[in-house]
Amino acid sequence: MLRRETTDDQDFQEHIENLRHKIDEVDMELFNLLARRMRIAQDIGRYKLRNNISILQSVRWNEILEKGFEQGDKRGLSQTFVEKFLSAVHQESIAKQQELMGAQVAPFTCDKAL
């Protein structure tokens, strides 16, 4: 069965716009939280730099991933999604720390840290 892309039904239009507005609000909250997380990652980078510690901490990555799988499962999120999301966030955190340290490290992938 072929589905229509849209409808002229006014009730549908109003309801879908309301739901989309809610998604936009949640997306803004996510961006605010991600920016906050990146600021903390930069603080961590400064601290590592002062103490001559490497950027990539595979034990910590494994902890983040395990907690993410557990929390994602409780919220109905697939492990595939959680891994992709956390990997992207972790890669950006590494990039922020690299900027601070002026360091070059190999690109991060999940399987390298596990």
pLDDT digits (tens, 9 = 90+) for 3-30: 888 899 999 999 999 999 999 999 999 9
Domain borders along the chain are: 13-113
pLDDT digits (tens, 9 = 90+) for 38-74: 999 999 999 999 999 999 999 999 999 999 999 999 9
What CATH fold (topology level) applies to the domain 13-113? Chorismate Mutase Domain, subunit A (1.20.59)
Q: Which amino acid is at 108?
A: F
Between CA 84 and CA 58, with CA 97 as vertex, the angle to 5 degrees is 55
pLDDT-derived band at 1 (thresholds 50, 70, 90) equals confident
**Predicted TM-score (pTM) above 0.75:** yes
CA distance 90 to 58: 11
Q: Report pLDDT for 77.
A: 98
